[in-house]
Amino acid sequence: MKPRLGTRTGLAGGALLMATVAFGQTPAPAPGPADPPAAAFFKQTEVSGFVDAYYGYNFNTPSSRQAQLRNFDVRHNSFSLNLVELALEKKPASNSRGGFRIDLDYGHQAAMVNAAEPGGSTLQNVGQAYVSYLAPHGLQLDFGKFYSPVGYEGIKTKDNWNYSRSLLYALAEPYYHAGFRANYTVNDHVAVAGFLVNGWNNVQDNNGAKTIGGQLTLKMSPAVSIVETYMGGAEASGDNSHWRHVSDSIFTYSPTSTVSLAINYDYGRDTAGAAPVTWQGVAGYLRYQPAKWFALTPRAEYYDDPDGATTGARQSLTEVTLTSEFTHKDGVSMRIEFRHDLSDTAFFKKNLSGLVKHQDTVTVGVVYAFSSR
What confidence tens digit (pLDDT) does each residue in 47-92 have? 999 999 999 999 999 999 999 999 999 999 999 999 999 999 999 9
Under a CB-based contact definition with an 8 Å cutoff, are residues 337 and 362 in contact? yes
Q: Does a structural domain hold residue 149?
A: yes
Full residue range of the structural domain in which residue 87 is found: 46-371
Task: Tally the domains of the chain.
Answer: 1
Q: Does a structural domain hold residue 3?
A: no
Q: Does a structural domain hold residue 182?
A: yes
Q: How many helices (H) and strands (E) does the chain have?
A: 4, 18
Q: Does a structural domain hold residue 16?
A: no
Binned at pLDDT 50, 70 and 90, residue 28 comes out as low
Q: Does a structural domain hold residue 27?
A: no
CATH number of the domain encompassing residue 276:
2.40.160.10
Mean pLDDT of the chain: 91
pLDDT score for 273: 85
- pLDDT tens per residue across span 246-303: 999 999 999 999 999 999 999 999 999 889 999 999 999 999 999 999 999 999 999 9
Q: Does a structural domain hold residue 164?
A: yes
- pLDDT tens per residue across span 324-341: 999 999 999 999 999 999
Q: Does a structural domain hold residue 353?
A: yes
Q: Does a structural domain hold residue 55?
A: yes
User: Which residues have C-beta within 8 Å of that of residue 36, sequence separation ≥ 6?
Assistant: none
Under a CB-based contact definition with an 8 Å cutoff, are residues 231 and 211 in contact? yes
Q: Is the pLDDT of residue 98 over 80?
A: yes
pLDDT score for 6: 41
Return phi, psi of residue 323, to 5°. Answer: -120, 130
